Amino acid sequence: MNLRRYSQVLFVSAAVLASGQNASAQETLRPLSAIDWFNQNLTENTKTPPTPEPELHVETTSIDVSILAPATPDSVGLISNAVSGFAPVIWSESNSSDLDTILMDMTIPRVPALSILLTRLMLTEAEGPQGPAGSFLHSRVSTLTRLGDVEPALALLERADPEENVALFQQWADLKILHGEDRELCDLLAEKPNLTPGYDYQVYCLSRSGDWPTAATTLLAAEVLGELRPELVLLLTRYLDPEIFEGMPVDFEPEDQLSPLEFRLMEGVGASWPTDALPLAFAHSDLRGLVGWRAQITAAERLARTGAVSENRLLGIYTANEPSASGGVWDRVADIQALEDTLSTSDAVAIGSALTSAWSSFDDVGLRFVLANLYGDRLGQIDWNSPELATLAHEVALLSRTYQGAANSHWPTNHRQAFLDAVAIGSVKATTYEGVIPDAIRNGFSNPPSLKYTNLLSRNADGEALLMAISSVAAGRDSFPSDISDAIAVFRVLGLSETARQFSLQLMLSQS
């Protein structure tokens, strides 16, 4: 039977299922030979008899041994304690279920300093919390994925040997597909089919290897056994042989959230799902150069907000072409290109005009800090004739990574400027600038954290306290003032004064 015949059988079966005659169709079309083949194939690949090892005869000597604490997947990391600055026992006094709950309920932070801190926490090597092995690593990888940090999440999993844990292997398989590294996944599943997360992965990998007949037979067996949803069977059938569906619309709705495999299948049948409606990690697919410029810009902007894409890469995408329209994303492209062009001149008026426009348009998408990191230093070296432009250029510099140098070399002329410079230096007690956010920041720098944090800190549950603080102010300026004060106080108590200052400056300057 050729591939065309396999596909026709699959198509007929899927169509009957869709029409509500699932049970009778399965009874009529039940391919016992396919099921027998499938079970035999799986058994043969998963029950390889062990090869006896030859006896070894060695001389032994008496040695002293000590028992080491067993390593768990939860302790792996990509950043050492010496680099991250966190204690190696930052999680050990917490329960993994409590940490998992905090991470699951946390929204993606709107403030860049928080995203950077959260990523650093998730990647730090440290003793794992109390609880089931692998649970906390699973939550860490999920958090990194939500932040768009696909490559670090993959690297973290690979340090933990995900083959030993079903949930971790599922994450690894999905991230491999999402990152475009499905060949490595499929080679592993061919070698170890018992690791297969599901029949859909097996069908996909068989087709990727060019074994279309086996892929079709496996899909038919999975359909008859009821292992796959009818909608997914139909999508896989279409992926295996798109010709028999020519001219027919693709009608697929995911059961819950679109999976990376379903995303690739949709892409394979020519019905790519727009990534701007999907979780952040999917946005990386639009940076492969296979979509239009506008989609690339939108994806890069989304990823840049959490630091998953650098500002230099975003700048490269912004300046790749000339905008052919106006409004929305095209205004930002035109603004940053104008700023790039005018900075190569000595025309302070033109630079100021371009900066003012860019500062406004980048506020719309929460990317002012991108402008600051790209241009803050250069803007601080310009001799401004306008006090207003000089003030704007200084605030841009305060939002950049070199904020301390900008504050130290500046002479404030009003209470607001004095407050911002004091925040950058880390000493705001004597400032008089008032407002809801300034008052919350001042309280955070002047007072200890509230009881719910001091209780955690007193029992050395530092990591849990940090996660609670980040989660409580993830909404940025929309957070409760008391939570802003607490978060700053927690950062300071744990030696994260730079995070406290950057977080405070970004609250003040990242939005109008």
First to last CA, the chain: 67
List alpha helices for 47-163, DSSP H. 81-84, 96-105, 112-123, 135-146, 150-159
> For residue 322, is it left (φ>0), alpha (ψ between -120 and 50) or beta?
beta
Which helix (H) or strand (E) segment holds residue 238: the answer is helix 230-240
DSSP string, 356-411: HHHHHHHHTTT-HHHHHHHHHHHHTTS--S-HHHHHHHHHHHHTSTTHHHHHHT--
Task: Give residue 216's pLDDT band: very low, low, confident or very high (50, 70, 90).
Answer: very high
CA separation for the pair 330, 320 (Å, rounded): 13
Contacts of 58 (CB under 8 A, 6+ apart): none
Distance CA 453, CA 507 (A): 22
Angle, in degrees to the nearest 10, between helices 182-191 and 199-208: 110
List of residues 6+ apart from 83 with CB closer than 8 A: none
| Residue 79, SS3 per DSSP | strand
Assign 130 to helix, strand or coil: strand
d(CA 182, CA 385): 57
SS3 category, 66: coil
More confident site: 502 or 81: 502
What's the DSSP call for residue 510? S
pLDDT at residue 310 tops 60 = yes
Residues 25 and 13: beta-carbon distance below 8 Å:
yes
Q: What's the rounded mean pLDDT across residues 110-136?
A: 96
The reported pTM is 0.85
Q: Which of 22-26, 55-59, 203-207, 457-461 has the lowest mean pLDDT?
A: 55-59
CA distance 110 to 125: 26
CA atoms within 13 A on the CB side of 199: 24
pLDDT in tens, 131-172: 999 999 999 999 999 999 999 999 999 999 999 999 999 999
